[in-house]
Amino acid sequence: MNDPKSPRDPLLLDHEADGIQELDNNLPRWWVWLFYLTILFAAFYLTYYHVLGKGTSQLTAYREEMAKGEAVKQAAISRFDTALGNVAPSTETATLDRGRELFLTYCSPCHRPDGGGLVGPNLCDDYWIHGPQFSDNVKVIWNGVPEKGMLSWREQGMKPSDILAVASYIYTLRGSNPPNPKIREDQAPAVPAQVYE
């Protein structure tokens, strides 16, 4: 520590923290020049990109990359859509187990755990609204049925392999005859109109 009787150092500042007094030293010259260089760079950057509007902005670069990514995604989707006509249901136990797990998680709220139908149609009979082929089932899961309230699971982020697993599992439900299945609209008995007095 400093001896209180010694003459005061002219570079010593008046304030102290925890018994430590600060010296008023100059910054190193290289640091000062680096600081000035960053100020010049900021002025150049501001003028070039924001005042003159030259160069590609970060937002433009982001939009260009998103457009490229969307093009790749759409190409993959169209290849998958084209391949849907050639798919067949899987009979592998692991795939069917994965499909059952996904069905119980995502599909059973509308189709019941046994596939008998609630809000969504009965998946266990032979009367399929969007076609009887396996590829029809895959397309419905892939694209959804927005007019009936069914989501496109592709847009929800479900992988194509998972969609094929769910469709394969649903295909095994055909003919399983669950108790109290949902009746098709064309089989439903006519409900008499209620008369209000």
Question: How many Cβ atoms are within 10 Å of 176's Cβ, its own excluded?
Answer: 13
pLDDT of 188: 54
User: What average pLDDT does the segment 148-165 reach?
Assistant: 85
User: What average pLDDT does the segment 177-187 reach?
Assistant: 74
Summarize pLDDT for 99-137 with one digit per residue, the tens: 999 999 998 898 889 888 888 888 888 777 887 788 888
Please report, for the domain that includes residue 121, its CATH number: 1.10.760.10
User: What average pLDDT does the segment 141-168 reach?
Assistant: 85
Contact 149/119 with Cβ under 8 angstroms?
yes
How would you classify residue 23: left for phi > 0, otherwise alpha for psi between -120 and 50, otherwise beta?
beta
In a domain, 154, yes or no: yes
Helices (H) and strands (E) counted in the chain, each on its own, are 6, 2
User: What average pLDDT does the segment 179-197 reach?
Assistant: 60
CA–CA distance, 30 with 41 (Å, rounded to integer): 16
In a domain, 142, yes or no: yes
In a domain, 193, yes or no: no
Residue 167 shares a structural domain with residue 104: yes
Average pLDDT of the residues of the chain: 81
Q: Please give the residue range of the domain that contains residue 120.
A: 93-183
User: What average pLDDT does the segment 141-149 reach?
Assistant: 85
Residue 47 has pLDDT above 80, yes or no: yes
In order of 18, 32, 36, 108, the CA distances from 24 in angstroms are: 17, 15, 21, 73
pLDDT of 193: 46
For residue 65, the surrounding DSSP H or E stretch is helix 58-83
Residue 98 shares a structural domain with residue 172: yes
Residue 46 shares a structural domain with residue 107: no
Residue 189 has pLDDT above 60, yes or no: no
In a domain, 155, yes or no: yes
Report the percentage of the chain scoring pLDDT > 90.
22
pLDDT of 87: 77
Residue 44 has pLDDT above 50, yes or no: yes
How would you classify residue 7: left for phi > 0, otherwise alpha for psi between -120 and 50, otherwise beta?
beta
In a domain, 132, yes or no: yes
Total domains, the chain:
2
Non-local CB neighbours of 187 within 8 Å, separated by 6+ positions: none
Contact 85/77 with Cβ under 8 angstroms?
no
Summarize pLDDT for 58-79 with one digit per residue, the tens: 888 999 999 999 999 888 777 7
Top pLDDT among 140 and 189 is at 140
